[in-house]
Amino acid sequence: MGAQRLVQGQRAELLQALCYGGSAEGLESVIDLLLAWEVLLSEDHQSLRTPSQPLYSSARALLDLACIQGESTCASLLAALNQVLPETQRAGLCFGDCRVPPQGTGPVPTSAAQALRRDRPLLVRKLRGGVAAALKALLASGSFTVYDCDEVQLLLYTPSQQARRLLDLVQSKGESTAEVLLQHIQQTESNPTSPVNEEIPTECLLYQKKLRSSLSAQSHFLSTYGGTGSLSLDDIYTEVLLEVAKGSSEAQQQPLGLEDILGLVGTMNEEADLVLVSGEAGSGKSTLLQRLHLLWARGAALHDFLFLFPFSCRRLNSEERELSLKDLLFLHCCWPDQDQDLLFQYILDHPHKVIFTFDGMDEFRLGFSDEQRHCSPNLPAPVSILLFNLLQGSLMKGVRKVATSRPEAITPSLRGYLRKEVLLKGFSAGGIDCFVRRHHSNPCVAARVLDTLRINSALFGLCHIPVFCWIVSQCSRELLGCSSRGPRTITDVYLMVLQHFLQHHSPPEQRSPGSGWWQGNVGTAMRLGQLALGGLDSPCYVFSVVDLQRCMVTEEDLRAGFLIQTKDLSSPDGKHYEFLHVTMQCFFAALYIVFNNDIDRSTIPNLFCPPHRKGSVLSRSCLGPCLPTHCHLEGISEGADRLNLQITATFVSGLLSQRHRHLLHQVCPAPALDSKCRQVVKALSWGMRRHFRSIPRPVRGEKKSMHAMPEFVWLIKCIYEMQDSDIAKGAVARLEVEHLKLTYCSIGPVECTALAYVLQHLRGRVGLQLDYNSVGDVGVEQLLPCLDICHALYLRNNNISDEGIRKLIEKGIQCENFQKIALFNNNLTDACTQYFAHLLKKRHNFLSLRLGNNYITAVGAEQLADGLRSNKSLQFLGLWGNKVRDRGAEALAEALKGSPRLTWLSLVDNGIGNSGARALAELIESSKTLEELWLSKNCITREGVEYLLCALEKNTSVQSIWLRGNKLSPEEVEEVSRRESRLTF
C-alpha cells in the first residue's frame, strides 16, 4: 500500500501516537527529522508549531501537510515516526516500506546554518543539558541579546524545547550566529567541563552549608521514637525493597538502591522531572526520604545536587498565605542569612542542581490539578498552585522532584507528569531480621522476638510493613509474654502497642495483670480517639493546642506518647501535635467509634460506604465540638482520606471481634457492642455482594471470571480482622466464580493471610490469579490454607524463591484440586526443580507447569525430567527464558517421549543448539499429542532445523514450531518455510 494511503488510513492512530501522554516530544522529534531530511522547510515548521497551538492541532496540521505534499513526504513521515516512536507505540501501526534516508552520507554541508539543519536531531540532544552555557557564548559574542536568552529559557519549555527554540533563533539570525553556536558546541565537546566544576558563588556555598546542617539535624532521629526515647536513623535504618513500577519491564527484576530513585533506571518519560515513590501506609516512604535527606546533608549521596529542599505536604496544608516560589523555598526549608536574590537567581539558573522532595502528596488537602498555570517564580500564589505547577514542571522546569504517596491516591492527571514511579514494598524477610536485631541492643531479646515471629507466620507477614515491624519490636515485652497464639491481626498488634504505651510510665510493680491495664486508661483512649476521629473527618493530621483542649486532652494523655510534637511548623499559635503515625490516628478513631455509646448510628455504615458527597462522611453530632481548628472541608483530596477511613474501618472490624470482647465489656454494654458488630457484618456483606454483582456473565466457552478491585481486598482484610469463620463463610457463600483475578492489587503477605482465611470457604474451585503483586515466600506460605479450593494458581512476578516453592509443593501434593501453576518471572533456581519433580511423580492429574523467566539451568531441567518421566497428565510445560541449553533440552525431550497428553512446550530463549533440536525432533517423532513447540530465540542452525523437518514428516499432531530468532539466514528461512508450512518464523 502507498505511504499516503497508510497515513490517511491510520490517521486516528498516528495522531494518538504523535501526542502520546500529552507530551509534545514525539511530535517535535518527528519534525526535527523531517527538517533534517529537508522534507519540511522552516516556513512549514513555523506554521506547524506556534506556542499557542494545542498539541493535537499541530499534529493534525503535520498529517494534513504530508498528505497535501504527497507520496514522498508521507513516506518520510512514516520513516520518521518509525524511528522516533517507542516500541509500545509502534505496535499495531503499519509503516509500509519506508526507509530512513541515509544520514551523514549526503553532500557535506557548505555552511554552518546548513550543518545546524542537517544535524538538528543530534544537536537537540547535545544542547538540552547545556542551553545556559550556549546562551552565554552567544551573548558574549554579541550574537544574542538578553531578550533572546529570556525567550529561549522560558520556564514553560522543557530542556529539549529550549534547545529547539535556540536552534530556530540561531537559524533566523544567519550564518555568523550559526558559526558561533557550532564553534561553542565543538569547544564543549573537545573540552568537556563538568557542571560540578563550574565556579559556585560563595553565597551559595554558605547557604548550602546552612541547609545541610539544618537538614542533618532534622533527619537525624526517627520521629516515631519521639515518645519513647529517640533512636538515630543511622542505628535503625534498614534497607527496604524498591522496584520500578510497571511500564518499564526491563528493570522489573532489578533490585533498586536508594540512589537509583534519581537515576536513569525505569525512566518512562525523559522530559518529566517528577519521580514518585509509592507505597502503602507505613511502608516507609517518609523514612526513606528522611534517609535521602540525611545522606545528602552529609555529602554521602546525590553529589550532583547542590541544594535539596524538603517539603512535607502535611505542613504545607497549614500554609494559608499566598507565597512566591522564593518565599516557599526560604520560609519552609531554610532561611538564607544574606543575598537572597543572588541565591534565588542561582537556583533559577541551575535547576539541574536542585532537588525538591514532597513527602505525603496523598495528604495534601487538594487533589492534584493542572488546570491553573503559574510560571512566574516571583509572583505570589496559593501554595496549592505553586505545588501543582512545580510538580508539572511549569514552574522551575528541570528541578528534580521526588514525591511520596500511597498508590491509590495518585490521579491519572498527575501520572501524566511522571518521569518514573518507584514502588516501595516494605521490608524483605532479611530486612525484618535486620530491623529487629538493630532495634534490640540485647541480642537474646532480638533472637527471642525473631523466634516468635518464625512460629507465628501471620505476624511475620505483618512485619513486612515497617510500621508494624516497629510496633512488634517495640512491644517485645508484651509479645514474649503472650501465652496463647499471640497477635495475628493488625488490631491485635495495635492493641499491643496501646497496652505498651499506656503501661510505659507506670513502674512494673504497679502494672495490672491481664486486661487490668486498660481500666485506668479508658479516658485517655477516648479523648485521643475523639481528637483522632475529628481529624480524620476534617481531614486534619496536625492539631493545635486549641484542638487538644476542645477534646480535653490532658498533659497525662500527652505523656502516654501517642501524640508527638510537630517539628518545624512555624505558627504564631504555638505548639502543634500529630499522632506517631497516621495508622495510630486511625486506630484511636476506631476505638472512639467502638467505645462511644452515643455515637450516631449512621457512623459505621458511612465508614464502610461513604455517601457520595464532599466533606464529612461521619455525623457531626458524634464528634461534639472537637473539630480541629485547621480543618478544610472543601474539595478534600479523596485519596488518602478515603484510605484512612478504610484503615479505621479495618480497626473497627477487628475491635468488634469476639476475641477482644473481654476488653470492650469493661467499657461498653454487650447489646451496644452486638448491635455495632451486626452493622459491620452487614456493611461487609453488602460490600462483597456489590462486587459479586459486578461479575459479567461469562461469554460462551469462557470461564466465569471476576476482576477484583482494590476495595475487594480491603473488605477481605476487614473480614479477616473479625476472626470469625462463620462471617468469612457467609461473605463468600454467594460467590460463584471460576476465575478470580487480583493482578496489580498490591497484595503482599498481609493480604495473602486475609485472602486465604476467607477464600478457603468458597464453595466451588477457583483459579486464583495473583500476578504482579508482592506475594513473596511468606505470602505463599500464607496462601496455603486456601490451596485446596484452587485448581490453578498464577503467581507471575511475585518475588518468590525456592523456599516458597518448597512449602507450596509440600501442601500442593496433598491437594487433589490443584492442577496448574504459573510462576513466570520469579527468583527460582535449580534448587526448586526437585520439588516440582516430586509433584509430577505424585500427582497424575496435574496439567500445567509454567516456570518462564527464572534461573533454571540444565541441572534443574534434568531434575524436572526425572519427574516428567513418570507423569502421565501434564499438558503444558513452559520454560521460556531460562538457561537449560542443549543438555537440559535433551533431558526434557527424552523424558517427555512417554508423555501421553503433552500439547504445548515452550523452550524459547534457552541457549539451545542443534543437539537440543535433534533430541526435540525425536520427541516430535514419537508424540501423538504435541501441538505447539516454541523454540524461538535459540541458537539452532539449518542443520538443527533439518532434524525438525524430518521429524515433522512423521508427525501429524504438531501444528506449529516457532523458530524466530535462531541462526538462519533469510534464504534458509525462505527455503525451509517453503518446505514445511508448520515452521513459523
Ligand X SMILES: Nc1ncnc2c1ncn2[C@@H]1O[C@H](COP(=O)(O)OP(=O)(O)OP(=O)(O)O)[C@@H](O)[C@H]1O
What residues line the site for ligand X (CB under 6 A)?
222, 224, 236-238, 240, 279, 281-287, 360, 406, 435, 466-467, 470, 581-582
Q: Please give the grid coordinates belonging to residue 651.
A: 480497626
Strands (E), 739-847: 739-741, 766-769, 790-794, 820-822
CB of 561 to ligand X, least distance (A): 13
Q: Please give the grid coordinates belonging to residue 431.
A: 530486612
CB of 644 to ligand X, least distance (A): 9
- Say if residues 938 and 912 touch (Cβ distance below 8 Å): yes
CB of 471 to ligand X, least distance (A): 9
Q: Report how far residue 876's alpha carbon sits from residue 898's, in angstroms, rounded to the nearest whole number.
A: 15
By beta-carbon proximity to ligand X, the closer residue of 343 and 778 is 778
By beta-carbon proximity to ligand X, the closer residue of 360 and 860 is 360
Residue holding cell 533506571?
A: 265
CB of 622 to ligand X, least distance (A): 25
CB of 643 to ligand X, least distance (A): 9
By beta-carbon proximity to ligand X, the closer residue of 165 and 500 is 500
Contacts of 985 (CB under 8 A, 6+ apart): 963, 964, 968, 973, 977
By beta-carbon proximity to ligand X, the closer residue of 362 and 802 is 362
Radius of gyration of the chain (CA): 32
Question: Per-residue b/e over 455-485, b at no fewer than 16 CB within 10 Å?
Answer: ebbbbbbbbbbbbbbbbbbbbbebbeeeeee
Q: How far is CA 596 from the centre of its chain?
A: 39
CB of 224 to ligand X, least distance (A): 3
Q: How far is CA 49 from CA 32, 42, 164, 294, 783, in A?
A: 12, 11, 11, 45, 56
CB of 776 to ligand X, least distance (A): 17
CB of 607 to ligand X, least distance (A): 18
Q: Report how far residue 682's alpha carbon sits from residue 688's, in angstroms, rounded to the nearest whole number.
A: 10
By beta-carbon proximity to ligand X, the closer residue of 308 and 467 is 467
By beta-carbon proximity to ligand X, the closer residue of 207 and 237 is 237
Task: Count the Cβ atoms, other than its own, within 10 Å of residue 699.
Answer: 9
- Strand (E) or helix (H) holding 563: strand 563-565
- Say if residues 822 and 796 touch (Cβ distance below 8 Å): yes
- Alpha helix stretches (DSSP H) within 19-130: 25-36, 42-48, 55-69, 71-84, 87-90, 112-118, 120-127
CB of 949 to ligand X, least distance (A): 58
- Say if residues 682 and 719 touch (Cβ distance below 8 Å): no
By beta-carbon proximity to ligand X, the closer residue of 37 and 221 is 221
Q: Which of 170, 166, 188, 192 is nearest to 179 (CA)?
A: 170
- Alpha helix stretches (DSSP H) within 843-934: 858-870, 885-896, 914-926
By beta-carbon proximity to ligand X, the closer residue of 385 and 423 is 423
CB of 750 to ligand X, least distance (A): 14
By beta-carbon proximity to ligand X, the closer residue of 96 and 710 is 710
Looking at the DSSP assignment, which residues form a beta bridge with residue 934? 906, 962
Q: How far is CA 3 from the centre of its chain?
A: 40
Residue holding cell 473479625?
A: 722
Question: Per-residue b/e over 802-833, b at no fewer than 16 CB within 10 Å?
Answer: bbbbbbbbebbbebeebbbbbbbbbbbbbbbb
Q: Report how far residue 684's alpha carbon sits from residue 698's, in angstroms, rounded to the nearest whole number.
A: 26
Q: Report how far residue 684's alpha carbon sits from residue 652's, in angstroms, rounded to the nearest whole number.
A: 12
By beta-carbon proximity to ligand X, the closer residue of 165 and 315 is 315
CB of 564 to ligand X, least distance (A): 10
By beta-carbon proximity to ligand X, the closer residue of 159 and 360 is 360
Which residue lies nearest ligand X, judged by its C-beta? 284
Q: How far is CA 88 from the centre of its chain?
A: 20
Q: Report how far residue 879's alpha carbon sits from residue 744's, in angstroms, rounded to the nearest whole number.
A: 23
By beta-carbon proximity to ligand X, the closer residue of 69 and 228 is 228
By beta-carbon proximity to ligand X, the closer residue of 231 and 482 is 231
CB of 240 to ligand X, least distance (A): 5
CB of 215 to ligand X, least distance (A): 17
CB of 462 to ligand X, least distance (A): 12
By beta-carbon proximity to ligand X, the closer residue of 407 and 911 is 407
- Say if residues 242 and 425 touch (Cβ distance below 8 Å): yes
By beta-carbon proximity to ligand X, the closer residue of 284 and 561 is 284
CB of 450 to ligand X, least distance (A): 16
